[in-house]
Structure 1
Amino acid sequence: MTKPAAGFRKMRGSVVGWLPQLRGWLAVVPLFGLSTGLSAHALGHAHFAATTWTVVTLAVLVVLVTQVVRSLTKGDVGLDLVALLSMSGALALSQPLTGAVIALMYAGGQSLEAYAAGRAGKAMTALVARQPRTALREDVGGLTEVLLAALAPGDHILVRAGDVVPVDGRVFRGSAVLDRSSLTGEALPITLLANEPVLSGTVNAGTPFTVVAERPAADSTYAGIVRLVEAAQARKAPMAHLADRYGLAFLALTLLLAGGAWSASGDPLRALAVLVVATPCPLILAVPVALVSGLSRAAGNGVLIKGGGALETLAEIRVLVIDKTGTLTHGSARLTSTRSFGPYDAVEALRLAASLDQASGHPIARALVEEARRRALVLSQPQNVTESPGEGVSGWVEGRHVLVGGPRLMRMHDVRFPPPDGAGLVAAAATATVLVAVEGAPVAVLELVDPLRNDGGRTLAALRECGIKRIVLATGDRRAVAEALVAGLPVDAVAADLDPAAKTDIVAAERRSGPVMMVGDGINDAPALAAADLGIALGARGAAAAAEAADVVLLVDSLAPLPQAILIARRARAIALQSVWVGLGLSLVGMVAAALGHLSPLRGAVLQEIIDVAVILNALRALGGPQDGGEPTTQDVPRGA
């Protein structure tokens, strides 16, 4: 018994696995059978015609029964039951032509929906299809083609013209002309020079260049995007669940109306006509097509939305909570001035500070290291480094004890800076101040600024125009810095000095004003992103934890696509609802007419086919949309330090 049972399960699994592929070609069978039967009937072979129609109806019925059984095993009672009853009823009542037309109608709806969903998901599936499998690694003996899994940070990889960049890294040799349109929607290629960062998934639109890998392929931006796309395609939208609930009510109404018509007239053909007009319902066709169309259009604009549920939520957002560092600002501080003391000049002070900061992952530490490298300073390896979170770093550089951090770190080590240039200095509100001490003596004050993104103010204004009623800046930075940054911008409130838990509390508190959207990019934003009604992670190079916790990922390192994404979401949702209610209304009118005897089963089948085609074509309008509605129009407010 074991082997036959295993064989049956294997055969059943094979059939189930082929069902999605069958949907696109299912209409061929009833179309061929219907046309063959009509030709035979015209030539006087009525019996052969009836037999042909019966056979094709049974063929489609087998596929339909398999789908209904699969749904029932998952606890889903769908409207496919109506199609099952109408086809079975047509055969039972000796209406083979009607059965064939219903089979064509059902199979045609399945094929049309498969085509529409395939067309709508083209932009998303193209991301997955383009993922490279191998790369050309530069080894001692020459170029070696290796699997992506074999690549490691530090490897040098040759990217030929037309190749997809396989891993995140930096330009090592040559200049890179990259086409980022498939990831970000940007029409024009960008040019990157030596040591500039390169995102995986972009296409080399110029001459070959060499990139040095900074991450394993599995942790690259493009691999993460592919995982997000696959997760998005597997999710079912709340509106689709809503359609299932409405579908049950519609199924009950259909059976009640069909039974009532049969009981009142004594004619089972009236019941069959009612079932035919209700097969298949526009409710289950229009919603997925419209939502997937919206997902596809958003992906084409550089916004990856993780499923129809997130698309629906995005359409309803009224409150924005936004992070500052790396989201509203670039997240990379820039050195603006250096004031030195004692025996060290400004250059030597920067070199010592950057040498020590090589051991820190703090954004300001990275900024100092990058500035030192930009100036071609020779950095030394630090020793015995100790980092105090929020305070700074201490350690040894070239045999000297070095401190780099804020006033509290200096007080902890009893280092006193001369006023007004040291710890007592009241710096500009938008400037971060880093103090440097060597061997217990003050050496320098470094001032850095993290400027507002060029599109920051313009995008916030555009979000206002999209219907966002309240905008709150939530940051772990000082209040003075945060308030100075957003002065003049359309921000309603500033919440500063926040830890990750406090950011989550802010999101919860803002729900009283409406559905909340949280935008962030760092690991510390992940809890708030998960807590919000909709979490949005900014930038493909943001923290993986933020991207995983978010419902939406902006594939370009910019806020600019967000207003357009909201408009796309609202339009897709509106079209889905429009298709549902118009389609349901027309179906109900047809069902009543059939119950009263004004529509035969054959005419009802033709009418419902017209309705189905109309609602699917209407749902596909979500692939298009207003060309300028989401583009920011308000001029950005320039910000200095």
Structure 2
Amino acid sequence: MPLTNRISLAQLGICSMSLVAGGGVRLFGFGQLAGWIWLGGASIVLVGVLADTVVALWHKKFGLDLIALVSIAGAIVLQEYFTAAVIALMFASGRALEIYAERRAQDEMSALLSKAPRCANRYENGQLVQVPLAAVRLGDRLAVRSGETVPVDGTLVSGATVDESSLTGESLPVSYGPGKSVGSGAVNAGDAFDLLATSTEEDSTFSNIIRLVRAAQESKAPAARLADRYALMFVPLALGIAGLSWLFSGDPNRALAVVVVATPCPLILAVPVAIVSAMSRCARRGVLIKHGGALEKMAEVKTMFFDKTGTLTGGKARLAAILAAPAVDQEELLRLAASLEQMSGHTIAQAVVGAAIERGLRLTVPERVIEQAGAGLSGWVDGKQISIGGHDYVLGTATWPAWAANLVERIGYEGAAGVYVAIDGTFCGVLQMADEIRLETPRALRMLRALGVGHIVMLTGDRADVARTIGNSLAVDAVVAEQTPASKLAAISEARRDGVTLMVGDGINDAPALAAADIGVAMGARGAAAAAESAQVVLLVDRLDRLAFAVRIAQQTRTIALQSVAGGMGLSIAAMLVAAFGYLPPVAGALLQELIDVAVILNALRVLRLETATSAERISANDLDKLKEEHARLRPVLDRLARLADQAANLPAPVMREELLLLNESLRHQILPHESNDDVTLYPRVARLIGGEDPLASMSSTHREIYRLSRIVDRLTNATLGEGDEEASMQELRRTLYALEAILRLHFAQEEEIYYGLAS
């Protein structure tokens, strides 16, 4: 505990004992001795307040402690020692409340430190060996026993159930399947499992969070006191009323009573208690605010700048599309490619493997694998020679087939990366990998606009065409692309002239911009350490909508703090006027002021209850994961819809009929049962969480359209096409397939966004 806090608590203890001891001595008739005891207790607090006031004035800060100094000193001068002791106790108890609130926030932010793992269980020569965490290397196979903390970030070899409450705030355990990533710091809430390390101790998510928490705890940045802005008005007012009451009545006790009820505990404590409570509330939801000044500014932010990669987008590659040759099955292309990619440690290779596992594809072990760093790799999978990598590595100087004529231009325009695949020397397709917009990003931006943020700008170093595509889809107000760290800095500096600015980023190149903005916010869960160190706010949870939560908490905290300041000033001024007319003696005034203190501080503590919700009032992360996994299993059906629509005009009639029969079976036995189950079981529950009479009416309407289009596919599948209407029927079929594919993709995305917003 800091020395100043120990001194404040010691003052409270001495004041309490002196007041009780003096009262006991007084009962036995030793009035003079009681006065000396009360004087001693009050003097100890007086010396502390005097020191604080001198230091504040030395730093040219005119604070409210001056009134406490005048009231205690005035009581002593007038030999009202009991009154002086009561005032001193009131002031010391107020300080103790502030210390309690600060310690509570510190406890919230440092809860992670006690859970830091020290070692890991690593497989060595078929045996488990406990090794220091620093000895873990990329690719090590580790075992995590039940109840143990995941030591480093890794990819699951088998399924696992983990408690991520210390990382995400999710109160219920979450289940993950093989191939899923698990962050360090999660606790094994189920049976033992194995994982492959994808980070070292130094680079792990949990170690990064612990460094940030320690840095925040050691930060010397003071919490700004909103109440001090009112001191220039309140202090002269209180002293003026006291002086006038003495002047007109000739009774110095009236002046003392005025100063006593003006003791500024409500103003001194209400704002810090509210701010520290808000910092504690945000810490519980994974938002680390390093000092109170940043929280105050967040309530006034008008312009927000966002980096693109890793902030508005996920920052990692995901399979966006499979572009296969007409005669090649897309699922088989992905399976063969992922089987080979198992032998590569490249991030895109891991994304390909993860996509295949997510779709439930059976991967096999490749043979005779040769990897050319930075280009690609080749090997044999199930007796087939597979080459995978960049187009130069896979195709060389070969001529592009007709079906792939504009492939490179399309992938480049969409800002994606292409993983080119050849089977037995023949180019067969491309896996389009893209850095997708975060699921919560659109919702987060809508929430920020609703909170009064007037201008949202994407500030990125990416190409202008890629940046505009992302920016237009998110409806940001401006897209500033191809920026260097220096030009980002200049853009933010210019915007600061128009109001409070906030910058969100995650990379090393964002650090100068984060430091230049009024408020820098770092995506700290996986972001660069330099960005987190430059920022005043760090999102420890990899969710952008937590920023909107923090801004809303900041605004509500400011409102509550201002209510406390206004209420404290109003009640104190009323009490001062009563005391000035002689109706409130000093001791009664001290007790009244204590009641005002308690009322105002209790009002400030309302911040701790802001935005609270029980796990029963939210969708669990397990429910969300089940929905996403089911959508992943259904996406091959969507791919088949698009592929069949593309090839309908060129397929022979018997092949077309066979493909339609397979597609129709998938629609009847996979897609439609999924949508029907959503309507019956999930939507009523979600509707209760959202509120309103029928909040999911539009989603149910989408189900009806899906059923209608599926019936058309069924009719066309079973119809006998005559020669005369064959072309018209084919056009109707293609329109229907394209429409059904588009509406299903949109519907899946809408469902996931709604569920994600309601998830804890």
Structure 1 length as normaliser, TM-score? 0.78
Give the aligned partner of residue 294 of structure 2: 310
In structure 2, what is the Cα distance between the partners aligned to 1:339 and 1:499?
A: 37
CA contact 1:24–1:115 (8 Å) conserved in 2: no
Give the aligned partner of residue 443 of structure 2: 458
2:410 to 423, 427, 432: 427
In structure 1, what is the Cα distance between the partners aligned to 2:148 and 2:527?
A: 24
Distance change in 2, residues 1:237/1:435 (3 Å): closer
Counterpart amino acid of residue 182 in structure 1: S
Give the aligned partner of residue 519 of structure 2: 534
In structure 1, what is the Cα distance between the partners aligned to 2:599 and 2:277?
A: 16
In structure 1, what is the Cα distance between the partners aligned to 2:343 and 2:192?
A: 36
Q: Give matches, 1:216-227, under 5 Å.
A: 216-227=200-211
CA deviations 1:408-434 (Å, max 9, x no partner) are: x999x9887466625675427546253
Say whether residues 1:288 and 2:291 are aligned partners. no
Give the aligned partner of residue 52 of structure 1: 37
CA deviations 1:405-461 (Å, max 9, x no partner) are: 589x999x98874666256754275462537599xx995644333333333333333
Structure 1 residue 614: Cα displacement: 1.7
In structure 2, what is the Cα distance between the partners aligned to 1:587 and 1:111?
A: 21
In structure 1, what is the Cα distance between the partners aligned to 2:60 and 2:123?
A: 56
In structure 2, what is the Cα distance between the partners aligned to 1:415 and 1:288?
A: 70
Give the aligned partner of residue 566 of structure 1: 551
CA contact 1:287–1:619 (8 Å) conserved in 2: yes
2:568 to 566, 573, 583: 583
In structure 2, what is the Cα distance between the partners aligned to 1:85 and 1:101?
A: 14
2:454 to 469, 472, 475: 469
Structure 1 residue 576: Cα displacement: 1.2
Structure 1 residue 621: Cα displacement: 0.8
Structure 1 residue 496: Cα displacement: 4.2
Give the aligned partner of residue 285 of structure 2: 301
Q: Give matches, 1:162-311, under 5 Å.
A: 162-171=147-156, 175-233=159-217, 240-244=224-228, 246-247=230-231, 250-255=234-239, 258=242, 261-262=245-246, 266-311=250-295
Secondary structure in 2 aligned to 1:518?
A: strand
Structure 1 residue 293: Cα displacement: 1.0
Give the aligned partner of residue 13 of structure 1: none
Distance change in 2, residues 1:548/1:179 (3 Å): same
Q: Over alpha carbons, which structure has the higher Rg?
A: 2
Which structure is richer in relative contact order (CA contacts within 8 A, separation 6 or more)?
A: 1
In structure 2, what is the Cα distance between the partners aligned to 1:347 and 1:158?
A: 29
Structure 1 residue 334: Cα displacement: 1.2
In structure 2, what is the Cα distance between the partners aligned to 1:499 and 1:355?
A: 36
Distance change in 2, residues 1:167/1:260 (3 Å): farther
Percent identical: 43
Q: RMSD across aligned C-alpha pairs, in angstroms?
A: 4.6
CA contact 2:208–2:524 (8 Å) conserved in 1: no
Distance change in 2, residues 1:380/1:542 (3 Å): farther
Higher helix residue share: 2
Give the aligned partner of residue 94 of structure 1: 79
Residue range with higher mean Cα deviation, 151-160 or 224-233? 151-160
2:540 to 555, 568, 585: 555
CA contact 1:462–1:632 (8 Å) conserved in 2: no
Distance change in 2, residues 1:606/1:207 (3 Å): same
Structure 1 residue 295: Cα displacement: 1.2
Give the aligned partner of residue 503 of structure 2: 518
Structure 1 residue 557: Cα displacement: 2.1
CA deviations 1:448-477 (Å, max 9, x no partner) are: 333333333333333332223333344445
Distance change in 2, residues 1:639/1:85 (3 Å): same
Which structure 1 segments of 5+ residues have no match?
Answer: 1-15, 386-392
Give the aligned partner of residue 727 of structure 2: none
Distance change in 2, residues 1:552/1:241 (3 Å): same
In structure 1, what is the Cα distance between the partners aligned to 2:445 and 2:394?
A: 39
Count the aligned residue pairs: 605
Counterpart amino acid of residue 166 in structure 2: S
In structure 1, what is the Cα distance between the partners aligned to 2:31 and 2:286?
A: 58
In structure 2, what is the Cα distance between the partners aligned to 1:597 and 1:47?
A: 27
Secondary structure in 2 aligned to 1:217?
A: coil
In structure 1, what is the Cα distance between the partners aligned to 2:462 and 2:748?
A: 17
Structure 1 residue 349: Cα displacement: 9.8
CA contact 1:410–1:416 (8 Å) conserved in 2: no
CA contact 1:61–1:87 (8 Å) conserved in 2: yes
CA deviations 1:253-291 (Å, max 9, x no partner) are: 555554555566554434433432332442221111101
Secondary structure in 1 aligned to 2:119?
A: strand
Structure 1 residue 524: Cα displacement: 3.9
Residue range with higher mean Cα deviation, 492-501 or 277-286? 492-501
Secondary structure in 2 aligned to 1:316?
A: coil
Secondary structure in 2 aligned to 1:447?
A: strand
In structure 2, what is the Cα distance between the partners aligned to 1:122 and 1:98?
A: 36
Counterpart amino acid of residue 559 in structure 1: L
CA contact 1:235–1:308 (8 Å) conserved in 2: no
Say whether residues 1:616 and 2:627 are aligned partners. no
CA deviations 1:477-526 (Å, max 9, x no partner) are: 55554555566654334444545455555545655775433333333444
In structure 2, what is the Cα distance between the partners aligned to 1:17 and 1:319?
A: 37
Residue range with higher mean Cα deviation, 516-525 or 567-576? 516-525
2:318 to 333, 336, 360: 333
In structure 1, what is the Cα distance between the partners aligned to 2:502 and 2:145?
A: 41
Structure 1 residue 577: Cα displacement: 1.7
Counterpart amino acid of residue 127 in structure 1: L
Secondary structure in 2 aligned to 1:427?
A: helix
In structure 2, what is the Cα distance between the partners aligned to 1:323 and 1:442?
A: 40
Structure 1 residue 124: Cα displacement: 2.0
Distance change in 2, residues 1:352/1:281 (3 Å): closer
Distance change in 2, residues 1:192/1:348 (3 Å): closer
In structure 2, what is the Cα distance between the partners aligned to 1:560 and 1:492?
A: 18
Secondary structure in 1 aligned to 2:96?
A: helix
